[in-house]
Structures are given as C-alpha cells and as structure tokens.
C-alpha cells in the first residue's frame, strides 16, 4: 500500500494489473487495434502511448485517451490527425461511461487507465460518424478484454495496548476479519495498526468493537489513508 491524498471518492475501479490487453476491429478494410493499460500518472500514460507509436510506426493514426485519479481529475485525449472530435473524445467517453458494477448500471467509476487505438487505413473513408463509432467500438472491445477490480480507500487506525494484551487483541481482530497491518512495541506499550474502509459506518463500528474488547479502556486513533486493490 502507498500513501494517498484525500479525495472525494472512497472506491473506484481499475485494471487489475499493468499488463496491457488488446482487441482488433476491422471496418471497411481499416484495422482498429484497441489497447488498454493501467497507468498511475500522466507521464506513465504518455510513455505507454509512445511505446505503441514506435511498435506501430507504420500506422496512419495512434489515437489515445486516459483517465487518472480516484476523482478522475486527469482526463486527456488525442485525435492524432483524425478529424477533430472523431477519435480521442469518443474514446474518452467510452472509458468514462463504462459500467463497472453488474448490479448497478449507474456506477461508472473506471480510472487509472490509458486507452490507445491504432488505425491502419484501408483505403475507404468512413466519414465523421463512422470514425466516432469505430473508435468507440474499438475502445469498448478492448475494455471488455480487461480484468477490472475495485480499488478502495482504507483508513489507518492505531490502538495502544499493554504488551501482554497485544497478541490476544491481534488474534481476535484477525478472527473478525479486520486488516491488521502490524504491531510495534515500545518500552511502555504496543501499538496495533489496522486498516478499515474509510466511511463513517465502518469507522464507528471499529471503535465500538475495540471498546467492547477492552471494556472501554482502549480507543482507536485514526491516521492517514491508503488505496488498496481488491
């Protein structure tokens, strides 16, 4: 886990790993090769785009769109020589509107990814509408090949307890399926660090459980947050 800044989001969806996926779409002899990769910065996204540009050095267009951040605060797109608005923006919209919850069609929280569509021109012009559909479909097809997982914001909690009680408390918390990150020992006490979903209900529930474990003698001190996959 790594440190993260505070955001409005408590959960969003990302590609499972950094291994890119691809899907090929052929329309009127033009070949559209869609790629999806996980990225965590604008620089990383641009490196991925340049890698594909070199790989497909003979292609007519290498169009792209990427979205980064829990709040999807970074959004960029490029038509790469296609008529304005016919490639990059449709690709970006395909990412932003991708449904990530099979039980709730309103959930469209996909981020931390870069979509690239490489086009080999087949000699037949598709027109603006045809290009929009082609770049949209190529992106959607590539997204269908990607394995997506939730990324959740967890709040760290510190629990200070006597040395003699640390092992028992840690075992009890793990048995109750709490995430225990570790236990540190000082000369005067032990400090357990736990990670909890960062919402009011979860935090108050943990506080109640710790109070119950100690008959009200111990409390949780809440600290920073981390993002974790899964």
DSSP-derived secondary structure for 106-121: T---B-SEEEEEEEE-
DSSP helix/strand/coil, 9? coil
Pairwise CA distance, residues 220 & 206, whole Å: 8
Q: Across the chain, what does the average pLDDT equal? A: 92
The greatest distance separating any two alpha carbons of the chain, rounded to the nearest whole angstrom, comes to 77
Query: How much is the pTM?
Result: 0.82
Q: What is the DSSP letter of 177?
A: T
Q: Where in the chain is the domain with CATH 3.30.230.30?
A: 17-146
What would the pLDDT profile of 142-188 be if each residue is shown by its tens digit? 999 999 999 999 999 999 999 999 999 999 899 988 889 999 999 99
The segment(s) of the chain belonging to CATH 3.30.70.240 are 152-229
pLDDT band of 101, cuts 50, 70, 90: confident
Q: pLDDT tens, 66-93?
A: 999 999 999 999 999 999 999 999 999 9
Per the CATH hierarchy, to which homologous superfamily does domain 17-146 belong?
Impact, N-terminal domain (3.30.230.30)
CATH fit for domain 152-229, picks 3.10.20.30, 2.40.50.140, 3.30.70.240, 3.40.50.10440: 3.30.70.240
Q: How far apart are the first and last CA of the chain?
A: 12
| Structure token digits, residue 183 | 């236990």
Residue range 114-150, pLDDT digits in tens: 999 999 998 899 999 999 999 999 999 999 999 999 9
Is the pLDDT at 48 greater than 60? The verdict is: yes
Average pLDDT of the residues in 189-205: 92
């Amino acid at each position: 886990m790594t440190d993260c800044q505070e955001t409005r989001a408590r959960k969003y969806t990302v590609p499972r790993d950094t291994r890119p996926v691809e899907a090929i779409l052929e329309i009127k002899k033009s070949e559209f090769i869609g790629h999806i990769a996980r990225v965590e910065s604008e620089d990383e996204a641009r490196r991925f785009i340049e890698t594909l540009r070199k790989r497909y050095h003979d292609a007519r267009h290498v169009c792209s769109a990427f979205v980064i951040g829990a709040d999807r605060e970074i959004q960029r797109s490029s038509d790469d020589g296609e008529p304005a608005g016919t490639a990059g923006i449709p690709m970006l919209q395909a990412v932003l509107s991708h449904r990530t919850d099979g039980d709730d069609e309103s959930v469209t929280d996909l981020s931390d990814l870069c979509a690239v569509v490489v086009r080999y021109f087949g000699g037949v012009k598709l027109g603006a509408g045809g290009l929009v559909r082609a770049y949209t479909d190529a992106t959607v097809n590539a997204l269908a090949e990607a394995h997506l997982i939730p990324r959740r914001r967890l709040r760290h909690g510190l629990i200070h307890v006597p040395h003699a009680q640390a092992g028992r408390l840690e075992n009890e918390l793990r048995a109750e399926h709490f995430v225990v990150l570790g236990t540190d020992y000082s000369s005067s006490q032990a400090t357990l660090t736990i990670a909890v979903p960062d919402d009011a209900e979860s935090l108050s529930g943990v506080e109640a459980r710790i109070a119950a474990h100690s008959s009200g003698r111990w409390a949780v001190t809440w600290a920073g947050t981390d993002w974790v996959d899964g």
